């Protein structure tokens, strides 16, 4: 079982996952994606993965066989696992607990090489709906405090398999970055008596210079303090703190905006590796007046180096206004 450890000074938790453990010589400098035939996420290879948790597919299909169009499985090398008890304990001055949680893979499509911009609208809606379904199921486990949904596309963005997939990690503590964001949002709300993200949306719509795209329910912007070149955030226009409250008609508009934005990125940046993640409210703090869920999309164009590690400060060589203009005009 992996172990969660807390830095005694800064309070940062890390997951020591030695089951994924490697000898020093095992660290490949570049991740490799296997050829399509040996891909464990391709139809026909269902037996290569752990048993599925959820699938959308043809009626009458049997579990762990073909006929699905979306499939959710446990990660074969989970950072955190469901079995066991938390058992928080000390080790001298240090704090640790068992690596309890969940680590799942959402296989977005049976088609090995169909990325989001090329999927049908319905397929992307199903991906979003699967995110929601998994959150609804996992939030019943009272040991869990947070669920982070994310996607790594491309080896440089950390993907070890090229078949389109997202991941979900549920943690028994609220992650530091989420806690900071929720607390920051709360401070803003207490000072202004308004949601900070609602204010951002209002200001961005009024100036327009950082808007990438929008529709009835969602807006995509390059944030004012973008950490990375061509970073894009997607936010619901209405105040919503919980992703899983999304309605069917909203997933239609979110899917269409996601396809649009990732397609623009591919055209402007020549199909870059990227990460995206959904920032949602903590599981035990639903319907917050001060928090506003959103998706952060980060193309991987620059390298994080000593300065960023040491400072938490990012150097971004492209202004968000310029990035937004390039993306806006790419059609």
Q: Please identify every residue annotated as catalytic.
A: 165
Least distance (Å) from a second copy to the CB of residue 277? 3
Phi, psi of 198 (to 5 degrees): -60, -40
Identify which of 13, 297, 15, 300 has the alpha carbon closest to the alpha carbon of residue 149.
Answer: 297
Instruction: Give the span between the Cα atoms of 49 and 69, in whole angstroms.
Output: 16
Is residue 7 near a second copy by the rule CB under 8 A?
yes
Residues 269-298 within binding reach of a second copy (CB under 8 A)? 269-270, 272, 275-279, 296, 298
> HSE of 238 in the Cβ direction (CA atoms, 13 Å)?
12
Among 79, 100, 257, 288, binds a second copy (CB under 8 A): 79
16 binds a second copy (CB under 8 A): yes
User: Rounded to the nearest whole angstrom, what is the least distance from the CB of residue 249 to a second copy in the complex?
Assistant: 27
- Helix 121-138 × helix 248-269 angle, to 10°: 120
Structural tokens at position 229: 């070149």
Contact assessment for residue 239 and residue 291, using Cβ atoms and an 8 Å cutoff:
no
Of the ranges 40-48, 111-119, 120-128, 193-201, which one interacts with a second copy (CB under 8 A)? 193-201
Least separation in angstroms between residue 276's CB and a second copy is 7
Give the residue with the Cβ less far from a second copy, 58 or 180.
Answer: 180
Distance CA 19, CA 78 (A): 9
Q: Which of 124, 185, 257, 324 is in the footprint of a second copy by CB under 8 A?
A: 185
Strands of 54-57's sheet, edge to edge? 54-57, 68-74, 102-107, 165-171, 146-153, 274-279, 294-299, 232-236, 218-221, 211-214
Restricted to residues 36-75, the positions that interact with a second copy (CB under 8 A) are none
Q: Closest separation between CB of residue 1 and a second copy, Å?
A: 12
| Dihedral sign, Cα of residue 162, residue 158, residue 148, residue 79 | positive
Give how many residues touch a second copy by CB under 8 A: 95
Closer residue to a second copy, CB minimum distance, 65 or 302:
302
Half-sphere exposure of 89 (CA within 13 A, CB side): 7
Render the burial of 94-107: b for 16+ CB within 10 Å, e for the rest.
ebbbbbbbbbbbbb
**Least separation in angstroms between CB 227 and a second copy:** 5
Question: Restricting to residues 88-127, which ones interact with a second copy according to CB under 8 A?
Answer: 91-94
Least distance to a second copy, CB of residue 66, Å: 29
Task: Indicate which single residue of 61, 76, 176, 287 sits in contact with a second copy (rule: CB under 8 A).
Answer: 176
Under DSSP, the state recorded for 100 is B
Interface with a second copy, residue 312, by CB under 8 A: yes
Judged by CB under 8 A, the residue of 37, 142, 311, 331 near a second copy is: 311
State yes or no: residue 224 binds a second copy (CB under 8 A): yes
The residues in 122-151 that bind a second copy, with binding defined as CB under 8 A, are 146, 148, 150-151
CA nearest 71: which of 59, 51, 50, 54? 54
197 binds a second copy (CB under 8 A): yes
From the list 35, 38, 60, 317, which residue makes contact with a second copy (rule: CB under 8 A)? Answer: 317
Q: How far is the CB of 114 from a second copy (least distance, A)?
A: 20
Instruction: Report the interhelical angle of 248-269 vs 320-329 (nearest 10°).
Output: 100
Looking at the Cβ atoms of 56 and 150, the one nearer to a second copy is: 150
- Asked whether position 216 contacts a second copy by CB under 8 A, the answer is no
Cβ neighbour number for residue 31 with a 10 Å cutoff: 15
Closer CB to a second copy, residue 18 or residue 48? 18
């Amino acid at each position: 079982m992996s172990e969660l450890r807390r830095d005694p000074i800064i309070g940062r938790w890390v997951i020591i996952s030695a089951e994924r453990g490697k000898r020093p010589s095992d660290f490949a400098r570049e991740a490799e994606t296997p050829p399509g035939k040996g891909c464990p996420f391709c139809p026909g290879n269902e037996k290569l993965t752990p048993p599925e948790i959820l699938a959308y597919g043809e009626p009458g299909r049997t579990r762990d066989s073909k006929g699905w169009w979306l499939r959710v499985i446990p990660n074969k090398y989970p950072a955190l696992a469901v079995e066991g008890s938390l058992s928080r304990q000390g080790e001298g001055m240090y704090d640790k607990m068992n690596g309890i949680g969940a680590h799942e893979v959402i296989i977005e499509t049976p088609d090995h090489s169909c990325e989001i911009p090329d999927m049908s609208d319905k397929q992307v809606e199903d991906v979003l709906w699967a995110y929601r379904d998994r959150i609804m199921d996992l939030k019943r486990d009272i040991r869990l405090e947070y669920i982070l949904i994310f996607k790594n596309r491309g080896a440089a963005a950390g993907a070890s398999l090229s078949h389109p997939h997202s991941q979900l990690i549920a943690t028994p503590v609220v992650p530091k970055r989420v806690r900071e964001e929720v607390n920051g949002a709360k401070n803003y709300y207490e000072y202004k008596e308004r949601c900070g993200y609602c204010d951002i949306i209002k200001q961005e719509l009024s100036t327009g210079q950082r808007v990438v795209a929008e529709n009835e329910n969602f807006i995509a912007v390059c944030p004012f303090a973008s950490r990375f070149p061509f970073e894009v955030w997607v936010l619901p226009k209405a105040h919503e703190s919980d992703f899983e409250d999304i309605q069917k008609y909203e997933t239609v508009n979110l899917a269409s905006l996601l396809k649009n934005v990732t397609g623009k990125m591919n055209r402007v940046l020549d199909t870059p590796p990227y990460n995206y993640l959904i920032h949602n409210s903590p599981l035990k703090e639903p319907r917050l007046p001060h928090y506003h869920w959103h998706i952060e999309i980060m193309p991987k164009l620059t390298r994080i180096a000593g300065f960023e590690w040491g400072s938490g400060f990012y150097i971004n060589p492209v202004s968000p206004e310029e990035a937004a203009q390039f993306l806006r005009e790419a059609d």
